[in-house]
Structure 1
Amino acid sequence: MSTTPTLLLYDTMSGSKRPLEPIEPGHIGLYLCGPTVYDLSHVGHARSAICADTVVRFLREQGLRVTFVRNVTDIDDKIIKRAQVEGISAGEVAAKYTAAYHEDLDSLGCLRPDVEPRVTGTIPEIVALIETLIARGLAYESGGDVYFRVAAFSTYGALSKRSLDDMQAGARVEVSELKENPLDFALWKAAKPGEPAWPSPWGPGRPGWHIECSAMSKVHLGETFDLHAGGRDLIFPHHENEIAQSQGACGHGTFARHWMHNGFVDFAGEKMSKSLGNFFTIREVTALYPPEAVRWFLIGVHYRSGLNFDVEVPCPACARPLDTEAQQGSACPECGAALDRDRLRAHIRFPGLEEADERVAYVYDTLARSPRSGRV
């Protein structure tokens, strides 16, 4: 008879540690929000993937069967824009960067998910989910778009601990006559000339970002599943919107039984992200340091804590450490050597990764000297 070990997990929804109590004894269904594949993945993406990978490995080590689902968003505004820049189709962009994502995570020792659904392969299910929301009065069509009616979902904001009144007061009103309310968010976007589109009851178009995960998790894990993971930046609006869509469509109050969110990777005091431009790709970092050291570094603090990615930038010619102001200049203030972004990034040092590399080497050396190794 299968039994489930008693495991405590901090749950974002309740704000406290709770026993991980699976729906099916001995089995955990875990969903992780995966990448939008329009570029190479950065270290922040690696942390989210490694945190989930560590949990999956631990649960399996405890004797649990885990169904690990991680999606790929393979159609999005950013993918379309990158396709225009690279002169290839959106599908080719998605395929190119999905393959790169797999290669990068493989190098970091991450297990592949049991299921990896893609948005373009889930369009019928997404359309059906939107139709259900419209029928329940939680969504409406407007000019070929479909929007979720936030005010009709009474518990909106429960995950992020935000009140609807506060969100209304602070809303950045978009100039759009299509929305009933500035807080309403898109479930379906009407097609624009030259963009990929799929047929729907509201005309050709493509899904909004949030509805995708609601549909994919439902297909592969059911209306209610055990554990939803992702970065802390996804709590609002993405995960908040997932809850509203999923619970609104199924008509009951539980989407994910537990929520697990990892902290940010900070660089120069800010969250590492492509939009800020202050990120380092997984490939840049693993070209300088062993992937095991990167993995050790990223799980070296509690998964919910922020992680500071220390960086030292020496002059490529004289090795003098350059402060932020000097890095922005065209020449080294010490030796006058020309500075450019590519040269600086090629000589960057990451002290935290150097320490992690030493710790990994120490572990291997200790194992090699253990009695079981035959060496002392």
Structure 2
Amino acid sequence: MKLYNTMTGQKEEFVPLRPGEVTMYVCGPTVYNYFHVGNARVFVVFDVVRRYLEYRGYKVTYVQNFTDIDDKMIKRANEEGTTVKELGDRFIKEYFDDAEALGIKRATYHPRATENIDNIIEFIKKLIDRGYAYVAGGDVYFDVSKFGDYGKLSHKNIDELISGARIDVNELKDDPLDFALWKAQKEGEPGWESPWGVGRPGWHIECSVMANTFLGQTIDIHAGGPDLVFPHHENEIAQSEAANGRPFARYWMHVGFLNVNNEKMSKSKNNFFTVRELREKYDPEIIRFFILTSHYRSPLNFSLELLDQAKNGLDRLYNGLENIKFFMNRGAEGREYTAEERGFTDRVDGYRDRFVQVMDDDFNTADAIAVIFELIRECNSFLKEGIHKQVAKKAYDVLMELCGVLNILEDKEQVVDEDIRRLIEERQKARAERNWALADKIRDQLRDMGIILEDTPSGVRWKRV
């Protein structure tokens, strides 16, 4: 298995620190609002990375944090006349609502920054004791000049970082690149007692401490959005390696940028979409499927038209699934496979091998979905009346196995409901008796239940809508 490491700028063989186990930290949301489609790409992509690692036999400890103390949270809480904690509680709940709708599995741990204040304070003390941080007027800053490898993730030197970074003007800092580990409390802000006075942690230190607390001093995979490479992840590396004297993360993974209608997503351009808004018009599985049809490192353009195209593609997969299920339920049995059927089942196994091959190559979900479409096409071409039902069952099992890794194409009705089966049989009897009025009445009744019938030479097929 190979993955692209942002640190080295190339694909590398994936070798975890401990055989058979993977530790993985993914930067989560700042919980002051619903998350947008760009966030969704990060969360969906690394959900699939985790699922695939588990599919390949690894035990994955997956941490995704909540940033629940932050300038944006303080501003929004003050605007709403609520507390930062109440705001965080509310949007953590909303996060899980949207994430679970997108088929994102809960992390092994979902730590909150405010639940780790004591550990953060101890970590900052350690940095001060080791000479990497200094106190200035109730704030504590990391001294970038003391960390010789600063810039190794973003591949920029100090001069480039100074000229390209948006750095707050602060007379208390020794150097413009130095960043806050602890911020003194201002009026109207929440705060915690510390050796440097009442205050709150800086953003970067929160993730370092939560990764250290829940996964250890060196982790296998650290992941997030492309905007986090600098300064957030660069600063995490500096403070973590300065404190612990060892590498922080072995592999760094970042998704590509997401644009909306070929422009950067921005509220001012009125092209800002939250997942909650999109869910009002689209099944969230369509959003997930759309995200996975592109390689995670490629730039991704989002538009409602492209989402409609994704819906059409997903519908084709569902139609293929229903076709396979039809022959699985109606196929022949009680005989040996024919030579053609044996050849087909061998080819079906080959699709699994191809799926693994492309996913082993830096989690290429786009090519993995292409393999699934090819499997569907071959099934549509090969399966016909008289086929052995176990041949269709083989295709069904492999299809659902591969789609299960991506968490798409759920078989919402693995067994036909007794009521549906009974109504279909009654309609067939009415048709045989040429009682067209009753047959049409039953068809309408099934349509009201969300069941669409299709009369074919091989019998009646049905699907849910």
**TM-score w.r.t. structure 1 length?**
0.85
Partners of 1:141 and 1:147 within 8 A in 2 = yes
TM-superposition CA deviations, 1:140-185 (whole Å, max 9, x none): 0000000110111000000001101222345556432100001111
User: In structure 1, how many angstroms separate the alpha carbons of the residues matched to 2:148 and 2:268?
Assistant: 32
Does residue 227 of structure 2 align to residue 261 of structure 1?
no
Counterpart among 318, 326, 348 of residue 364 in structure 1: 318
What is aligned with 2:229? Answer: 235
Counterpart among 30, 37, 45 of residue 24 in structure 2: 30
TM-superposition CA deviations, 1:84-135 (whole Å, max 9, x none): 1111111110011111111001000110001000001000111111111111
What is aligned with 1:158? Answer: 152
Counterpart among 48, 56, 61 of residue 55 in structure 2: 61
Q: How far 1:358 sits from its partner (Å)? A: 1.0
What is aligned with 1:176? Answer: 170
User: In structure 2, how many angstroms separate the alpha carbons of the residues matched to 1:176 and 1:352?
Assistant: 45
Does residue 120 of structure 2 align to residue 126 of structure 1?
yes
What is aligned with 1:351? Answer: 305
Compared CA separation, residues 54 and 275, structure 1 to 2 (3 A): farther
TM-superposition CA deviations, 1:337-375 (whole Å, max 9, x none): xxxxxxxxxxxxx11111111111111111111143547
Where in structure 2 are the equivalents of 1:1-376 lying within 5 Å?
7-170=1-164, 174-252=168-246, 254-272=247-265, 278-310=271-303, 350-370=304-324, 371-372=327-328, 374=330
Partners of 1:136 and 1:249 within 8 A in 2 = yes
Partners of 2:167 and 2:176 within 8 A in 1 = yes
User: In structure 2, how many angstroms separate the alpha carbons of the residues matched to 1:109 and 1:233?
Assistant: 24
Gaps of 5+ in 1: 1-6, 311-349
TM-superposition CA deviations, 1:308-327 (whole Å, max 9, x none): 112xxxxxxxxxxxxxxxxx
Q: Which amino acid aligns with 2:323?
A: R
Q: Which amino acid aligns with 1:267?
A: V
Compared CA separation, residues 307 and 374, structure 1 to 2 (3 A): farther
Q: Which amino acid aligns with 2:104?
A: C
Q: Look up the SS of the partner of 1:23 in the other structure.
A: coil
Partners of 1:171 and 1:182 within 8 A in 2 = no
User: In structure 1, how many angstroms separate the alpha carbons of the residues matched to 2:185 and 2:102?
Assistant: 38
TM-superposition CA deviations, 1:197-232 (whole Å, max 9, x none): 001110000000000000000000000010011001
Compared CA separation, residues 307 and 98, structure 1 to 2 (3 A): same
What is aligned with 2:446? Answer: none
Compared CA separation, residues 374 and 149, structure 1 to 2 (3 A): farther
Compared CA separation, residues 274 and 32, structure 1 to 2 (3 A): farther
TM-superposition CA deviations, 1:247-283 (whole Å, max 9, x none): 010012x111001100122014333356876410101
Partners of 2:119 and 2:209 within 8 A in 1 = yes
Q: Look up the SS of the partner of 1:369 in the other structure.
A: helix
Q: Look up the SS of the partner of 1:18 in the other structure.
A: strand
Q: Which amino acid aligns with 1:149?
A: D
User: In structure 1, how many angstroms separate the alpha carbons of the residues matched to 2:196 and 2:63?
Assistant: 30
User: In structure 2, how many angstroms separate the alpha carbons of the residues matched to 1:106 and 1:293?
Assistant: 14
TM-superposition CA deviations, 1:13-33 (whole Å, max 9, x none): 011111111111101011000
Q: Which amino acid aligns with 1:33?
A: C
Q: Look up the SS of the partner of 1:122 in the other structure.
A: helix
Q: Which amino acid aligns with 1:175?
A: V
User: In structure 1, how many angstroms separate the alpha carbons of the residues matched to 2:131 and 2:270?
Assistant: 40
- Structure number, greater radius of gyration: 2
Q: Look up the SS of the partner of 1:161 in the other structure.
A: coil
RMSD between aligned residues: 1.5
Compared CA separation, residues 59 and 173, structure 1 to 2 (3 A): closer
Identity of aligned residues (%): 51
Partners of 1:187 and 1:210 within 8 A in 2 = yes
Q: How far 1:63 sits from its partner (Å)? A: 1.0
Gaps of 5+ in 2: 332-383, 385-465
Q: Which amino acid aligns with 1:38?
A: Y
Compared CA separation, residues 374 and 107, structure 1 to 2 (3 A): farther
Partners of 1:83 and 1:93 within 8 A in 2 = yes
User: In structure 1, how many angstroms separate the alpha carbons of the residues matched to 2:275 and 2:256?
Assistant: 17
User: In structure 1, how many angstroms separate the alpha carbons of the residues matched to 2:17 and 2:222?
Assistant: 14
**TM-score w.r.t. structure 2 length?**
0.69
Q: Which range moved further: 159-168 or 196-205?
A: 159-168
What count of residue pairs does the alignment treat as equivalent?
330
Partners of 2:262 and 2:302 within 8 A in 1 = no
Q: Which range moved further: 55-64 or 172-181?
A: 172-181
Judging by fraction of residues, say which structure has more helix. Answer: 2
